[in-house]
Amino acid sequence: MNASKFAVTFACYNALPYTKLCVESMIKHGMPLDRLVVVNNGSQDGTREYLKTLPLVGRIYNEENLGCGVAWNQGALALQAEWTIIMNNDVLVSPSWIEKLIHSAESNGYKVVSPAMVEGELDYDFDAFEASASKEMVSVNREGVIHGVCMAVHNSVWIDVGYFRASPKLLGYEDTLFFNELANAGISVATVGACWLHHYGSITQKEMKLEKQLSGKRGLGYRHNYKLLNKSWLERKLAKFKRRAQEKKWIKSELQEHGMTIRGLRENGVFRWI
């Protein structure tokens, strides 16, 4: 794939060890770092110094944490391409992950796609797992759903629905608002089984909760953020019911046909498929 076809960006707030693991996995699997823009959201743990050692196409240093919406927009605008991959810094990528992700999108007419993933501890051989899982699940797509851990966005989407809501006070609700805008505009989206990532699990959110002295169970975002969706209580409840019913159908179908699903949790040394 022509490298100019895509750009990759992620934001980071502390959690330097995970940023290093993410970048190292990109280098390992041949992704050119001159297609990567990293936005440092006010980290105080040596992230800034580490980024200076990398041959990145772009480094953006925010003096404080401006939130992921602001940072994602900064990264997407700093290096514009046909496809922009917005992702977390607490993931590991796999061989040909960009090619697989974009090929799945273009083959099926999706304008935003997310990869399949395993979340949790890395107590298994991810490369070996991915080689098998991507072949087994290559034709499995969950249409209508994507996730904020990683998404490839076609440049037409920015024109049709705009960029992310840029407010630091949203505290992680930016992806929900963006997904809502995609649905309202009828943009075709999917999570695809042809591409897999390992996600350690909301590391930045945990860092921010620690800073704000919030318990692990308490949500980080403002509890009335849902009002920004401009939907009634009944509309939100019905949407949630339909989403969960569809998820159950996907899980049942995928397990019956493949013995796994396109989203796994790694717990106590075993996979739990959801």
Paired tokens of 128: 């070996």
User: Across the chain, which distance is largest between two alpha carbons, in Å?
Assistant: 51
The CATH architecture that domain 3-273 belongs to is: Alpha-Beta Complex (3.90)
Looking at residue 60, its pLDDT comes to 97
Q: Where are the domains of the chain?
A: 3-273
Question: If DSSP codes are grouped into helix, strand and coil, which group holds residue 231?
Answer: coil
Looking at residue 3, its pLDDT comes to 85
Is the four-CA dihedral 29, 32, 37, 41 of positive or negative sign? positive
3-state helix/strand/coil string of 79-144: CCCCEEEEECCCEECCCCHHHHHHHHHHHHCCCEEEEEEEEECCCCCHHHHHHHHHHHCCCCEEEC
Which of 15, 61, 7 is CA-nearest to residue 37?
A: 7
- CA–CA separation, 172 and 205 (whole Å): 8
Question: If DSSP codes are grouped into helix, strand and coil, which group holds residue 43?
Answer: coil
Looking at residue 170, its pLDDT comes to 84
Helix H segments across the chain?
Answer: 16-28, 47-51, 67-78, 97-108, 126-136, 155-161, 174-185, 203-211, 233-258
From the number of C-beta atoms within 10 Å of its C-beta (0-12, 13-18, 19+), residue 92 rates as buried
Evaluate whether 42 touches 62 at the Cβ level (below 8 Å): yes
- CA–CA separation, 91 and 244 (whole Å): 26
Looking at residue 208, its pLDDT comes to 52
Q: Tell me the sheet residues that pair with 8.
A: 36, 85
Evaluate whether 251 touches 260 at the Cβ level (below 8 Å): no
Task: Give me the tens of pLDDT residue by residue for the chain, a chain 274 residues long.
Answer: 788 999 999 999 999 999 999 999 999 999 999 999 999 999 999 999 999 999 999 999 999 999 999 999 999 999 999 999 999 999 999 999 999 999 999 999 999 999 999 999 999 999 999 999 999 999 999 999 999 999 999 999 999 999 999 888 888 889 999 999 999 999 999 999 999 999 998 655 555 545 554 445 555 555 567 888 888 989 989 999 999 999 999 999 999 999 999 999 999 999 999 9
